[in-house]
Amino acid sequence: MRGNAAEHELVAPGSLPAVLDLLAGAPGQWTPIAGGTELMVAFAAGRLTASKLVSLWGVEELRFFDTSPDKLIIGAGTTFSDLRSNPIVAADFPLLDKAASWIGSIANQTRATLGGNLVNGSPAADSSPALLVYDAEIELISVRGKRCIPYREFHTGYKQNAMTADELLYAVHLPRRFANHRQYLRKVGTRRAMAISKVALGATALLKDGAIERIRVAAASLAPFPARLGKTEAALLGHRLNPSLIETARNALLAEAQPIDDIRSNAQYRKSVGANLLEEFLRALLSESAAK
C-alpha cells in the first residue's frame, strides 16, 4: 500500500447538481471517482496524481435504465452487475451483456460502472467494442446543459476523450435496431476470468441476398483507443460475402490495426488474432447464408 489517504481529498456531494456545481466551480481540479476499480488501484500503487476527488458512488441520478421503443438509455453510474441483470440489455444488446460478464470478477462488476469504463479510456476496455458496433451515443452533462456525441467520436487519443473539464459522462444511448443483425463479440484475454483483453473484436452485420448490406466492426487493443475499423468495414460493405471477400477483409484489418507490444502480448499476435476473429465471424455468416 503506497498511497496516503491524507494526501487526497474525497467528497461526496450526493446529488448530480451538487457534483456538477463542484466541477463548474473549479474546472479540471476535481477528479470524479465512481466504483474505484481503476483509481483505487492507482491509489494503492502510489500512482494516483489527483489530489481532489469527488465521489459519484450513490449519485442515484446517474444509475438508471430509461427504456423507450426505439432506445435504451443507460446511466453512466450503472454497474456491470446492473447491466447483467437488465432484461432489455440481454434481449436487445446481447454483446453488451456478454462484455459486462467479462469485466473482472463479481466483486469488480458490482462496483465498476459503464461510465467509468469509458472515461478511463483503456484501449482494452471491455464494454467498448459492443457499444461501438451498436452505434452508441454518449450524453455529457455539465451546469451548461447536456450534449450528445457519437461514441465513436468520444475517444480522441490514448486515454483522451472529447469531454471538457466541467463535464461528466451522463448516459449512454443505444438505438434498439440491432435485433435482426448478426452479432459477434469475442475477447481474447490472458486467461478465462479476471483478464485484461489482449484483443477483442465486435461486429454487427446485415446480409441481403448474400451481400453485406450493413457492417460495423470495432476492436479493443488494436489501436491507442477502442475504435471502429472503418477501412475494414469499407472493404466489406456492399460486397458479396464469399471466401475471397473474407481474405480481403482480413487484409484490410491487418493493414488498419495499429496494436502495440507490451508485457501482456505483442502487436503481431494481436493483429493476426484480430483478423482470425473477423474471419470467424464472417465464416459463420457465410455458412448461415449458404444454409438459407
Partner 1 sequence: MSAATPIQLNVNGANLTVTVQPMKRLLDVLREDLHLTGTKEGCGEGECGSCSVRMNGDLVNSCLVPVLQAASTNIETVEGLARDGILHPLQQAFLQCGGAQCGICTPGMLMAAKHLLAYNPHPTMAEIREGLAGNLCRCTGFMRIFESVLSAARSTTQETHAR
Partner 2 sequence: MLCVNPYGASHFPTMSTPAKNRIVGTSVPRKEGVDKLRGTARYIDDIQREGMWHGATVRSAVPRGFIRSIGFDRKIDWSEFGVVTAADIPGENHIQMIVADQPCLADGQVNHCEEAILLIAHPDKHKVREAVDAVHVEYDLLPPVFSIEESENQQTVIWGADNCFKSFQLEKGDVDSVWSHATHIVGGEYRTGAQEHLYIENNGVIAEYSVETGVTVWGSLQCPFYAHKSLLAVFNLPPEKVRVIQTETGGAFGGKEDYPSVIASHAALLAMKCGHPVKMVYDRVEDLAATTKRHPSRVRHRTALDANGKLLAMDIDIATDGGAYSTLSSTVLSRATLHSPGPYVCPNVRIRSHAWATNTVPYGAFRGFGAPQTVFAVERHMDEIAASINIDPIELRRRNFIHEGETTATEQLMREPIILDKLLGRALVESNYYNKRAEFAKENSGSAIKRGMGIAAFYHGSGFTGSGERYLNSLAGIDVTAEGKVRVLVSSTEFGQGTNTVLTQVAAEILGVEYDDVIMAPPDTGIVPNSGPTVASRTAMVIGRLIERASQQLLSMLREQASLPEQFSRQQFFAACEQLRKKAGEVVSLCRYEAPPDIFWDDQKYRGEAYPAYGWSVQIAQVAVDTVTYSAEVEEFWSAQEAGRVIHPILATGQIEGGIAQGIGYALYEKVVLQNGRMANNQMTNYIMPTAEDVPPIHVFWEELPFGHGGFGAKGIGELPHDGPAPAILNAIRDAIGVSFNSIPLLPEDLFAKLSIAPKVEEPASV
Residues that bind partner 1 (CB under 8 A): 1, 3, 5-12, 33, 35-37, 40-41, 43-45, 53, 55, 57-58, 81, 104-108, 110-111, 192-194
Residue closer to partner 1 by CB (options 27, 58) is 58
- Using the Cα atoms of residue 236, residue 241, residue 244 and residue 249 in order, give the sign of their dihedral: positive
Partner that binds at residue 201, options partner 1, partner 2, none, CB closer than 5 to 8 Å by kind: none
Partner that binds at residue 266, options partner 1, partner 2, none, CB closer than 5 to 8 Å by kind: partner 2
By CB under 8 A, tell whether 193 contacts partner 2: yes
Within 32-91, which residues bind partner 2 (CB under 8 A)? 44-46
Residue closer to partner 1 by CB (options 49, 105) is 105
Residue closer to partner 1 by CB (options 65, 147) is 65
Partner that binds at residue 292, options partner 2, partner 1, none, CB closer than 5 to 8 Å by kind: none
By CB under 8 A, tell whether 276 contacts partner 2: yes
Q: C-alpha 68: how far from its chain's center?
A: 22
Q: C-alpha 271: how far from its chain's center?
A: 19
By CB under 8 A, tell whether 265 contacts partner 2: yes
Residue closer to partner 2 by CB (options 136, 273) is 273
Partner that binds at residue 46, options partner 1, partner 2, none, CB closer than 5 to 8 Å by kind: partner 2
Among 196, 234, 237, 260, which residue sits at the site for partner 2 (rule: CB under 8 A)?
196
**Residues 232-239: contacts with CB under 8 Å, at least 24 apart:** 232/256, 232/278, 236/205, 236/212, 236/282, 237/212, 238/211, 238/212, 238/213, 239/211, 239/212
Residues 6+ apart with CB under 8 A from 179: 91, 92
Partner that binds at residue 265, options partner 2, partner 1, none, CB closer than 5 to 8 Å by kind: partner 2
Q: What is d(CA 13, CA 18) in angstroms, rounded to the nearest whole number?
A: 6
Partner that binds at residue 18, options partner 2, partner 1, none, CB closer than 5 to 8 Å by kind: none
Residues 6+ apart with CB under 8 A from 208: none
Q: What is d(CA 278, CA 217) in angstroms, rounded to the nearest whole number?
A: 8
By CB under 8 A, tell whether 291 contacts partner 2: no
Rg (CA), the chain: 20
The CB-of-58 to partner 1 minimum distance in angstroms stands at 7
Beta carbons within 10 angstroms of residue 165's beta carbon: 12
Beta carbons within 10 angstroms of residue 62's beta carbon: 24
Partner that binds at residue 190, options partner 2, partner 1, none, CB closer than 5 to 8 Å by kind: partner 2
Region label for 145, one of left (φ > 0), alpha (ψ between -120 and 50) or beta (otherwise): left
Among 89, 99, 132, 188, which residue sits at the site for partner 2 (rule: CB under 8 A)?
188
Nearest alpha-carbon partner for 10 in 35, 37, 41, 32: 32
Q: List interacting residues with partner 2 (CB under 8 A).
A: 1-2, 4, 6, 44-46, 188, 190-196, 198, 263-266, 268-269, 272-273, 276-277, 279-280
